[in-house]
Chains A and B, each alone.
Chain A
Amino acid sequence: MNPLLLRPILVAATAAFAASLHVAPAAAWDPTRNVEFIVPAGTGGGADQMARMVQGIIAKHNLMKQTMVVINKAGGAGGEGFLDIKASKGNPHKLVITLSNLFTTPLATGIPFSWKDMTPVAMLALDEFVLWVNAESPYKTTQEFLAAVKAAPPGTFKMGGTGSKQEDQIITVALEKVIGQKMTYVPYKGGGEVAVQLVGKHIDSTVNNPIEAVAQWRAGKLRPLCVFDTKVLPVTEKVSGDMSWADIPTCKSQGLDIEYLMLRGVFMPAGVSKDVVSYYVELFKKVRATPEWAQLMKDGAFNQSFMDGADYAKWVDNEEKRHRDLMKEAGFLAVN
């Protein structure tokens, strides 16, 4: 072989070898057994879907040496899952994905846990809320809908939502306050069921997350009125007819000044080392860089904020205070 030709190959090989050494430094910490990913909610809901998605992405892209196992601990509005994390102090092989029940469950039920009993890892995304009505209802805009609610006797309009004294009902109470009229809140077990009840006209409106209602919207069965965020959703791809997520106005612009986003974040037990936390932060950064994750974010029109460390802890702290105020005002705090 021509040595002149061989030389670049050798150089390339050496460089590749060096590069491989560089990208895989001896990690400060690596999981030594299966990692449990606890979902404090039932199978099939938003948090469950996201956790199983993360599990699938990690398995498919080989992002972790050990296997991730998703476990549902839904009892007591998720209290069961959070208490498990609280009791597993120092265990580096346990994670929990949160929904708003991180704040609402201890406040509404008195089940003793708080985010302070856990180590914040990272915020994965924020879930949006949209005001939906049946596509066959006469209300084309938020104002028309609000005017109808206001004009009818108290409690005539039924708002369906997931769970009791949780995010959907908090938004409903805020909405009642703005329009100065009572609605009847009907709690269901899961977001998908709520969307179908609206399609079947058993209720008048919902505040479903985008991913819970998108299938029915695409089929032309539901109509979005406004989104409970300060700015319109960033996804401009057409979803239903000639409408995209970005075409839904903000509720604020429609005279309904309510903003609510739900945390999709990860926590782990207290008493774990910094190396462990940074291992998982890096892991979730890798998960977020995959095309499957990007697709999920687009399908569900998620707010793709990411936070870790002190920023995340501060955000969670603020959010807890906000929930305490909101729930106190709504009269949702546990009596004991």
Chain B
Amino acid sequence: MTQPFLSIRNIRKTFGAVVAVHDVTVDIPKGEFLTFLGPSGSGKSTTLYAIAGFQDPSSGDVLLQGSSLLSVPSHKRNIGMVFQRYTLFPHLTVAENVAFPLRVRRRPDKEVKRKVDDMLALVRLEGFADRRPGALSGGQQQRVALARALAYDPPILLMDEPLSALDKKLREEIQAEIRRIHRETGVTILYVTHDQEEALHLSDRIALFKEGRIEQIGSGEDLYLRPATDFVAGFIGNSNFLPAECLETAHGSATIRLADGSVVSGVKANHSLSRGQKARLMVRPEAFRLTPGASCAELAVEFIDTAFFGERRRVVARTAAGQEIDIRPTSDAADGHGGIASRSRQVFFDPAAAFLFPA
């Protein structure tokens, strides 16, 4: 059996009576970009801190290439880390910041200089070597922090919401940089964020945290197309949850009745549901169509508001049962329907692209 590169085994962390992390177990292959995604307080940062050594887990273990990290003090773990806050050393220049981890390792001057140049080239800040952190923008500071964290070729790089202090445009720019740097260096990255778009954009795999546990782990596509629970479905991508009642289930497919009385058959149901059980049907806003198609289910709605968002239009509609839902048809499909607010009509969706969860 091959040994996993980094193995997080049954990590549990309690603060008094509060359990912050419950039994988290993940194996991470070398070179993977794994994101811990979840709302605040879901235990994702606590798990990361346990790996960095800032918080000792109450139980469980972290193994790097088979040997435990927990007995090693933080400064000897040889891990790279980029923080949410700006953590450049204010009294040192950019070059001295990047050199710091090499200086504390007593590396020869020549090697330090070469490595600093390489790292500044990697994050494309060659001209900034002699600046002080105070003279840099937030995005530049985080790039220097990234260069500093990679200067000593750590086997693992931890990133704790490094972009959350930046504005949206800059965030996307640096996400692209991080992807490139991951590709070029091949370093194993554990990334923490609460931003699902960021997670989808960056990661090979995403571990979605909920209340201290991993709710589902898989590629972004897995989580989006095959959500294991309603929490995953609600957290990744946009979603509408329609209350429903289960009429019949067979072979992972169900027939249900929606709140307005219409019956839909052939919806995906991974959970065992008994006849008559209350359920929730999740339909993505972009799964709704304005024109009927083969084997499509239909839903009577009233358009309340429509807005144009470039490639898609966003429609707020009300079902016959009085629930407001979000519909995002492509703009060309909605062409000519833009100004029809407050009109009753049918919308259509493929039941096989909808998911049934227990209520």
A and B held together in a complex: no
Residues of B within 8 A of A (CB): none
